Structure 1
């Protein structure tokens, strides 16, 4: 008995070593290998060529500038929506919040492609409306400003979610006391709400900044045609022109990206270090400020922002899919469903991409469900340094840009595996392992939230009655965490099915994913096919999010990110 269950504990003795071993393979081994290759490149002088290359410094400059500007834009948009939808009685807050989060769930390369179809002299939608710029006019999005703008649109929901989490805890009675003391709404907002909201605002800015640093889809679509490279796209081009020094150079570039990301998080920690706001009183009120006649200003403002962020790009994407070629105006004469027929029925590569993406997403979601149930149990039952270390190691791959995870897995699995003598590089399995590492934290969070709401006495009573671990798991734990586990499956499936950054470096012939095919179709001039495939992806995202919305009432608080 003692070999199976620790005395005085409900945990099997093998469970924590199993979870730690999985985390070592998915997180520690790849990142350690990446660090070793980077150190080796520094030792043999290979890093000198990297750091003296003007392309590195230009890419670093573009990375920082676009990330800073994109973060500023996301702060402006995200905070506006967070304050209005959380603290006011503006109508239709639920549907507006749902629609506002949608751009975050749409793949960044689809967002970039939609905006390209929406702007410039060749836009089918603008041509149909007779408002397109004259032929020969530049495409404004193929610029540093264009990349930053789309960063802001893509990551504004991250700021919204981070800030909303803090605003829901703002005490209603404190604001009411200030109003009864004669303070106007603006003064109460400035002196009470804004200071309490600063931690969420700073956290949202940090998350947005790190996401901008690691974004590949937007600068790939908008930057590469204009020879504007960020560090992520520079790594991609280094692999495209492979040499014997590529691994060392890419390891050093990955370290630069990681350092910039860590620096952004360090700024967040320093900004929050001197703040200590204690919240007392009644929190989580549905509405704090009655905006009265200002509804006629703020509601159209939010709807207009949603139109330009979501509706207009989707309509442009649809228009691009319904014309025979990019630049042809959409009319009844040019309307054609050829692109949809091509991607669904004739193009072998798109059918392969659908099959691969659905397979990878389903296996990743199912596999991580099993791991999350086990890891969540261990991490909520243990309270020691080892469990905190394992939890941190699970978070690291998700916090790092996907391009770094891809490089790390290439370094580990490019050579044949010991004993087995087979290599995973060039197969779908290396993408699957990289997905496991990247999305483990996404799957784990809802399950951990559910475990923390369980009363340990339920399981302890069953254990004292003689029920073994698997019996307790089957009869008590799994039924109680099932709603959160189901939500984690949908979230992981949704993210993995549309992923590009990790698979951009790991795919080979026959292992293309939807994100890779959309990028390749657009890059090769098949913008109508890329648009049609993107429309189908957007519809799939909306369907999955609506399914989560229907499940929301049965889930623990915080599992569905856009709901209170």
Structure 2
């Protein structure tokens, strides 16, 4: 936007009263509203939960709840299981994520965008749907393995119902976190460095071992720690695999105790939540230290574009397609096949193929209500979060408002802590009647919306913050000199430039919230069922074909949202979409 246009737009005066409000008190009002939003939706509930966990027990002993909670053998066993399963999952994530990042980042293969999308697809598939898909793939009636004679015999327990199965699936689910970290590190490697090694006579294996991998080591470690922190708070995979397999983790223990004893055990489960916060927080703090101390400064210059595959281009591409197909597409194919048979155990064929499960799902009033609830909640969360993040990012990056800059550091807390912890915090704060209103939002759709707003704000705030930091200062300065207030500058200058990133972030929120389970499993009530809750409930009831049908319908909707987001922002803000990272210029990709 030319500066002259900005000045001309800014000179269109608002009504005198409104103009005075915007100039004198508008900024304070906007800042107060944003601060209240961040504090009330996320920080206040989390602070209340921490205070509850550190409180005395019924006997009045200091830190009595902590002592009481970990006197339980079940709690100690769940803690140990959580630690070793999360560490094992992180190793799986590092192995898969690093290998895929090196292949897709360093070798020029055909279809890199599509391959990158497949590598990142575990981020788009909810954990409960992924677990259900793998259960169907490895079950004794597997529509993929049974015809090949590779499925377990009938009557034999599914091998995924174990600690090892949980480690494997959580490792796959969080593999994209390592992939993205290593991919960003590869983009930052200067081409001159690799060319110097080539001139010195080093071959590709030596360049990889002596140049590229050492430079990417901080990103590998950072991705591993991030995968560990994500696994600590995972609920969907441990719930679907660990509960029937009797492998309890802290997230599932919290769920089982609340379901069994209700709000009277809030103090004890708050302590279990505190353990989750401590593990995830320690991991993220270690990640920050490693990034700061192990980061290797690289020169500015053209980014290394990768090696030519030569005659191995197509064989390598086919092998990678096959590997990613087995990891991501084969389980979904098994899930679809299960949804197309009349009953579990019936082999899929032209004679047995049926759409009855889909018809039942679409006509069942509870499932239809769940789809409506999830759609309404996810869209509301996306729209409200984008509307809040737009001025929030501008005040932090452009105006550098001191209060909002401090709150910006804390706004990620509800997203960083495990979802189970945030759900507990919501119950603790919103179970009693709200002060002054004498009503409780517990058991209503409102508490789900508040939880979604708190948790998913960073998904749109971080892309918008990047746009705000890159905003040309002269544009905003020209409007300010022309007398435009903050609200007018946000709406007329920043909003048009940030619209693609806001749309992409909003769609990511909608995709994530639509199938969300961790928060919903503890906060839903009759009439406020969500899609994630319905899938979990159907599988727990033994209705695997119904759960598969609902999962497939849900994935189809998520895929439509992903394609819509890609079409809208592919040429405007590709950095806002993780699978478009290969299209982003190196400097922008590194910051993304």
TM-score (norm 2): 0.91
What is the correspondence of 1:469-548 to structure 2 with a 5 Å cutoff? 469-548=486-565
Kept in 2: contact 1:46–1:245 (CA 8 A): no
Indicate the SS of the match to 1:13. helix
Moved more, 47-56 or 432-441: 47-56
Deviations 1:57-98 (A, max 9, x none): 111111111111111111111111111111121222111001
* Partners of 1:125 and 1:330 within 8 A in 2: no
Displacement of 1:245 after TM fit?
Answer: 4.3
Q: Who is 2:346 aligned against?
A: 328
Contact 2:391/2:490 (<8 A) preserved: no
What is the rounded CA distance, in whole Å, between the counterparts of 2:362 and 2:147 in structure 1?
A: 26
Tell me by how many angstroms 1:267 deviates.
2.9
Match of residue 106, structure 1, among 101, 120, 125: 125
Task: Give the equivalent residue in structure 2 for 1:301.
Answer: 319
Q: Structure 2: any 5+ residue segments left out of the alignment?
A: 1-18, 582-592
Counterpart position of 1:371: 388
> Which residue, out of 63, 67, 84, partners 1:48?
67
Query: Compared with structure 1, are the counterparts of its residues 244 and 279 closer, same or farther at alpha carbon in structure 2 (3 Å cutoff)?
Result: closer
Q: Does 1:177 align with 2:192?
A: no
Matches of residues 9-88 of structure 1 in structure 2 within 5 Å?
Answer: 12-41=27-56, 44=61, 45-88=64-107
**In the alignment, what sits opposite 1:158?**
177
Cα deviation digits, residues 85-139 of structure 1 (max 9, x gap): 1112122211100121112110000000000101121324433555433212221
1:217 and 1:497 map into 2 onto residues whose CA distance is 14
Picking from 208, 216, 226, the partner of 2:235 is 216
2:209 and 2:147 map into 1 onto residues whose CA distance is 46
Would you say the 8 A contact 1:87–1:288 is kept in 2?
yes
Mapping of residues 120-519 of structure 1, within 5 Å: 120-242=139-261, 245-285=264-304, 287-295=305-313, 298-345=316-363, 347-383=364-400, 386-519=403-536
Contact 1:168 1:283 in 2 (8 A): no
Q: Deviations over 1:179-237 (max 9, x none)?
A: 01111112222222112212221221121111111110011111100111110000000
Distance of 1:297 and 1:76 partners within structure 2: 22
Counterpart Cα distance in 2 of 1:284 and 1:16: 40
Between the aligned partners of 1:254 and 1:268, the Cα distance in structure 2 is 21
For the residue of structure 1 that corresponds to 2:471, the secondary structure is: coil
Tell me the distance in 2 between the aligned counterparts of 1:359 and 1:2: 37
CA distance in 1, matches of 2:56, 2:263: 12
> Is this contact kept in 1: 2:226–2:287, CA < 8 A?
no
SS in 1 for 2:369: helix
How many Å apart are 1:321 and its aligned residue?
0.5
| Conservation of the 8 A alpha-carbon contact between 1:368 and 1:436 | yes
Note the aligned Cα RMSD (angstroms).
1.9
Please tell me whether the aligned partners of residues 459 and 472 of structure 1 are also in contact (alpha carbons under 8 angstroms).
yes
CA gap 1:298/1:173 in 2 versus in 1, 3 angstroms:
same
Q: Distance in 2 between matches of 1:125 and 1:87?
A: 33
TM-score between both structures, scaled by the size of structure 1:
0.95
Aligned residues: 559
Q: Secondary structure at the match of 1:502?
A: helix
Residue 558, structure 1, aligned to residue 575, structure 2: yes
- Distance across 2 between alignment mates of 1:275 and 1:228: 36
In the TM superposition, residue 273 of structure 1 has moved relative to its aligned partner by 4.4
CA deviation after TM superposition for structure 1 residue 351, in Å: 0.3
Aligned counterparts of 2:288 and 2:467: Cα–Cα separation in 1: 28
SS at match of 1:420: coil
Structure 1 unaligned spans of 5+: none
**Cα pair 1:405 1:434 within 8 Å, conserved:** yes
More off after superposition, 173-182 vs 33-42:
33-42
Q: Please, which moves more after superposition, 223-232 or 457-466?
A: 457-466
Distance 1:41 1:540 in 2: 47
